[in-house]
């Protein structure tokens, strides 16, 4: 009984009115990506999400994937849906036209990722992993590798994976044991075991292209000895079976319809991608693309959970409103009249709309960083993407799980049973906080790498525009209720940044102890920056009489809720940061 409708009005508002995404048409190669064309493509994308992928979500969860003799079968209907998806060209929305892609901005693909994740989280992981493989090969592959693999990845005839994790190491990839022995023909024989490989084996595509991390015989210790290899399931020259196979699939809490595989390599034939011992660099290209994709999973699952909670709250009648009956013709009022239900719904709505603006903003800057003809603008955009990627990944996946939990709470007892579908959203959402770098690792990346990199240059790409916006709008009467809370929270973010930098230089544990609170504080301020821009645009639309009055009034009311009920959380994180490391670190291990 779950429901989902792509939030096209909100999507268009962010793309066109808030971000002005049509400015991307000024970039060579994107000239034809007008607002009208982008809207048409996204509306078609919404149809396949709503009509093909969403109806398979609950049944796919209940059936799951099955493994037999090294082969994996996906749930009923998934193969047909994948064929429809690939035939529609959805695997190549933002791919290079040289290899058969549409050549549209990555921003369009980012929006599609949200809708796909809302409609069928597990299904979306199959083409999502292919995109990571495509990006690595497109950036670092030889011309021969590009010509061999990219056209088929773009059509979806072949799919891709990332094979990083091993039984004894996840985050610390310097510990990997997989070996690559050079052969006379320029290939390598690769041996090892990889675990937690999403979409590592399935029946959707005719070949699976694995990007595998391994070490050459002369590799130095640690991460400086990692190399990246392309290892196809079937060898392209004759489609003979390669020495890589699925040993088993994991039995998991959620994402049942996606195969999470143990992959065994025994003298598997592979080819070096990029420079030897430089696999970490190539891996981060895959990981950054994947982390933004995972951020969209957090948003996507939150959106569909919110939609279901809202539908239930409007339909379910229980008790009367505290100030008297609102629907006297009914035996009780719909639960949406109750303050706590409204708190949960408004938290969900404010998050989804704010996160949509924030992640689309990052997606738009990703396009600028990759394609803008001005090197200075490319660098500025890349700085912002590098800074914001760990923030959107961690915050949006944390909140994806939280919003899913709130949706269950709105449903009461019905939320805990399968019939209504929302318990699946909580189970599916939980993995996004873990994979592609746990959220604690994202926080360490933010304070350990991004904060001090290039003498704070990354931070300035966020701090400067926020500071300028506050200064330019501080006298705007329509924004007073928003501008001062934002300015106050922003000032505290700058203060905590300085304190962490100062303490962290003397004691890295101080920075580590503050990292998770700092990331959440940063995310809330960033979302406040998005919400005040949305409120400003909505106010301007109301004054001009344009568009749907109720839509814009709702935006301002939601902004008011965010600034009064959600942004104050940043103060709590500020206080936790200021408390230092002692309360975390003083306890001896045997005292736990």
Give the Cα-Cα-Cα angle 257, 263, 269 (nearest 5 degrees): 130
CA gap 391, 530 in Å, rounded: 14
Based on the residue annotation, tell me whether 436 is a catalytic residue of this protein: yes
SS3 126: helix
SS3 268: strand
Q: DSSP assignment, residue 15? A: I
Q: Which residues pair with 182 in a beta bridge?
A: 188
Q: What is the dihedral of CA 33, 38, 41, 47, to 10 degrees?
A: 170
Q: Are 369 and 105 in contact (CB under 8 A)?
A: no
Catalytic residue among 114, 353, 436, 510: 436
Contacts of residue 188, defined as CB under 8 A and 6 or more positions apart, other chains included, come to 180, 181, 182, 214, 216, 229, 269, 270, 271, 272
Number of H helices, E strands in the chain: 17, 9
CA gap 293, 432 in Å, rounded: 10
Cα 200 to Cα 238, 246, 376, 564: the distances in Å are: 21, 7, 39, 45
Residue from 214, 213, 211, 208 nearest 234 by CA: 208
Which stretches of 368-525 are assigned E, i.e. beta strand?
A: none
Instruction: Give the residue numbers annotated as catalytic, written as ranges.
Output: 436
């Amino acid at each position: 009984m779950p429901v989902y409708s792509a939030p096209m009005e909100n999507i268009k508002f962010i793309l066109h009115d808030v971000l002005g995404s049509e400015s991307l048409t000024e970039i060579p190669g994107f000239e034809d990506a007008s607002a009208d064309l982008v809207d048409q493509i996204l509306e078609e994308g919404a149809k396949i999400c709503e009509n093909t992928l969403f109806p398979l979500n609950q049944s796919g969860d209940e059936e799951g994937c099955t493994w037999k003799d090294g082969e994996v079968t996906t749930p009923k209907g998934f193969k047909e849906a994948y064929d429809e998806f690939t035939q529609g060209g959805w695997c190549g929305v933002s791919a290079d036209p040289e290899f058969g892609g549409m050549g549209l901005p990555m921003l369009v693909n980012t929006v599609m990722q949200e809708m796909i994740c809302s409609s069928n989280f597990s299904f979306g992981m199959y083409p999502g992993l292919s995109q990571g493989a495509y990006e690595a090969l497109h950036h670092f592959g030889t011309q021969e590798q590009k010509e061999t693999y990219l056209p088929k990845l773009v059509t979806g005839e072949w799919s891709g994976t990332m094979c990083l994790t091993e039984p004894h190491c996840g985050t610390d990839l310097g510990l990997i044991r997989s070996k690559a022995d050079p052969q006379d023909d320029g290939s390598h024989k690769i041996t090892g075991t990889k675990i937690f490989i999403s979409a590592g084996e399935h029946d959707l595509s005719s070949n699976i292209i694995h990007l595998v991390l391994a070490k050459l015989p002369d590799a130095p210790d640690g991460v400086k000895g990692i190399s990246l290899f392309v290892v196809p399931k079937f060898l392209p020259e004759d489609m003979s079976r390669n020495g890589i196979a699925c040993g088993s699939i994991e039995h998991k809490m959620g994402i049942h319809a996606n195969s999470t595989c143990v992959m065994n390599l025994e003298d598997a034939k592979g080819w070096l991608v990029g420079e030897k011992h430089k696999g970490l660099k190539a891996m981060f290209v895959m990981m950054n693309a994947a982390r933004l994709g995972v951020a969209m999973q957090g948003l996507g699952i939150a959106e569909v959970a919110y939609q279901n909670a809202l539908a239930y709250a409007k339909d379910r009648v229980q008790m009367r409103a505290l100030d008297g009956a609102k629907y006297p013709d009914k035996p009780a009022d719909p639960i949406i009249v109750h303050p706590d239900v409204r708190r949960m719904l408004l938290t969900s709505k404010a998050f989804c709309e704010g996160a949509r603006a924030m992640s689309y903003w990052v997606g738009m800057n990703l396009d600028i960083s990759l394609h803008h003809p001005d090197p200075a603008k490319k660098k500025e955009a890349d700085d912002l993407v590098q800074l914001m990627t760990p923030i959107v990944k961690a915050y949006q996946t944390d909140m994806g799980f939280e919003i899913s939990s709130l949706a269950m709470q709105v449903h009461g007892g019905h939320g805990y049973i399968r019939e209504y579908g929302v318990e699946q959203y909580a189970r599916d959402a939980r993995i996004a906080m873990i994979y592609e770098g746990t959220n604690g690792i994202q926080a360490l990346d933010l304070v350990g790498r991004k904060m001090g990199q290039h003498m704070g240059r990354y931070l300035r790409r966020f701090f400067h525009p926020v500071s300028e916006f506050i200064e330019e709008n501080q006298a705007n009467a329509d924004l007073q209720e928003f501008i001062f809370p934002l300015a106050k929270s922003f000032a505290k973010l700058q203060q905590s940044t300085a304190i962490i930098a100062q303490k962290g230089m003397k004691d890295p544990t101080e920075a580590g102890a503050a990292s998770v609170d700092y990331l959440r504080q940063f995310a809330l301020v960033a979302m406040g920056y998005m919400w005040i821009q949305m409120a400003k645009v909505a106010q301007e639309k109301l004054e001009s009489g344009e568009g749907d009055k109720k839509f814009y009034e709702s935006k301002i009311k939601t902004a008011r809720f965010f600034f009064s009920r959600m942004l104050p959380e940043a103060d709590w994180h500020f206080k936790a940061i200021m408390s230092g490391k002692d309360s975390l670190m003083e306890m001896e291990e045997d005292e736990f």
